[in-house]
Amino acid sequence: MGVMRIGRAELRVMDMEKAVDYYTRVIGLEETGRRDGRVYLKAWDEYDHHSLILQEADSPGMDHCAFKVETLEDLARYEKKIEHFGLTLKRVSNRSRLGEGEAIRFELPTGHQVELFHEIDYVGKIMGLENPHPWPDNLRGIAPHRLDHVLLTGDDVDSTTRFFIEALGFHQSEKIMSVDGEVTIGSFLFTNNGKPHEIAFIKGPDKKLHHAAFFVDNWYDVLKGADILSKNNVPVEVTPTRHGITRGLTTYFFDPSGNRNEAFASGYITYPDFKTITWTEDKIGQGIFYHRREMLESFGRALT
């Protein structure tokens, strides 16, 4: 299997206590530890020690995202593939961060930092593994099941897409092309776990985060999430709607530092033989916001 799934994202925040309050009380994540100026969090349905790291910094954005591989031996195998592709790579020592084992870190053609890892502390779910209930009591906030995906921006979408497919074994679920078919504007990539995307890229400034998304069950949970956001005076960019791309249900909003978040539900199931869907630039409004069929100006400009 190799790369199994997205494992974590580390976000830069400018006021740690405001960020922790937001991600625990409004989003509904659980704090699992603090060390060296970082706060570690997980969703209630995740069993690894963390899926989100908050790092206090002078500006918002994403420090890195990481994908979990099936075996420790996979790290050496992918290290060779990444070096063969020509990307800058280094080893991250065991326990460099709380709860984490050794990792490899590399820089994408878009300038983003990405890691692959296998070892991470197992903390489990509150429901346990024997005769578990479907969900725990006392859920807070939006209460997503998991970190779902990240969307990043960069200039070289083609090389980045080729790297994920050729070196890491990802598949492309959808792409956005210029009307003449010459320029790739967007690329949506998945592993073999059936999701519509784990990571996606939109053509734009290098090294930028567009959003980090959290998975909720259904349309009602997206609506409820929007209610919780409004109740807590969280800046909401896009009220509940549907994507044409991925068929996902969505609402977009911003954390206290300006990092965009998404509550994402549904979407189709993918398989290794899934055929790539193509959207053309003249239909991008419908692809992103299926109901209103036009883009919001802020959606392409509010980047961290």
CATH for 280: 3.10.180.10
256 and 179 belong to one structural domain: yes
What is the reported pLDDT for 193?
A: 84
Please confirm, yes or no, whether 133 is among the known catalytic residues.
no
**End-to-end CA separation in angstroms for the chain:** 32
3-state secondary structure string across 32-53: EEEECCEEEEECCCCCECCCEE
157 and 251 belong to one structural domain: yes
* Domain ranges, residue 230: 146-301
Report residue 122's pLDDT band, with 50, 70 and 90 as the boundaries: very high
**179 phi and psi, to 5 degrees?**
-60, -35
Q: Are 211 and 260 in contact (CB under 8 A)?
A: yes
16 and 158 belong to one structural domain: no
Q: Which of 50, 64, 171, 243 is catalytic?
A: 243
172 and 283 belong to one structural domain: yes
166 and 75 belong to one structural domain: no
| Most distant pair of Cα atoms in the chain: their distance | 56
* Tens digits of residue pLDDT in 13-71: 999 999 999 999 999 999 999 999 999 999 999 999 999 999 999 999 999 999 999 99
Measuring CA to CA, how many Å separate 203 from each of 173, 200, 234? 17, 10, 27
Please confirm, yes or no, whether 243 is among the known catalytic residues.
yes
Q: Which of 64, 112, 197, 210 is catalytic?
A: 197
111 and 151 belong to one structural domain: no
181 and 247 belong to one structural domain: yes
Kindly state whether residue 140 falls inside one of the protein's structural domains. Answer: no
Helix (H, G, I), strand (E, B) or coil at 229: helix
Kindly state whether residue 258 falls inside one of the protein's structural domains. Answer: yes
Kindly state whether residue 129 falls inside one of the protein's structural domains. Answer: no
- Counting DSSP H helices and E strands in the chain, the numbers are 6, 17
113 and 152 belong to one structural domain: no
Please confirm, yes or no, whether 291 is among the known catalytic residues.
no
* Tens digits of residue pLDDT in 242-281: 999 999 999 999 999 999 999 999 999 999 999 999 999 9
Please confirm, yes or no, whether 31 is among the known catalytic residues.
no
Q: Are 265 and 221 in contact (CB under 8 A)?
A: yes
188 and 108 belong to one structural domain: no
12 and 90 belong to one structural domain: yes
Other CB atoms within 10 A of residue 2 CB: 17
> What's the whole-number average pLDDT of the chain?
96
155 and 285 belong to one structural domain: yes
Please confirm, yes or no, whether 252 is among the known catalytic residues.
yes
**252 phi and psi, to 5 degrees?**
-115, 145
Structure tokens at 80: 């060779």
Paired strand residues for 236? 253
174 and 269 belong to one structural domain: yes
Domain count, the chain: 2
Kindly state whether residue 84 falls inside one of the protein's structural domains. Answer: yes
Whether the pLDDT of residue 169 is over 90: the answer is: yes
Kindly state whether residue 125 falls inside one of the protein's structural domains. Answer: no
Q: Which of 149, 171, 174, 210 is catalytic?
A: 149
Q: Which of 49, 112, 171, 211 is catalytic?
A: 211
**109-134 b/e (C-beta count within 10 Å ≥ 16 → b):** bbbbbbbbbbbbeebeeeeeeeeeee
Kindly state whether residue 131 falls inside one of the protein's structural domains. Answer: no
Please confirm, yes or no, whether 268 is among the known catalytic residues.
no
Q: Are 199 and 32 in contact (CB under 8 A)?
A: no
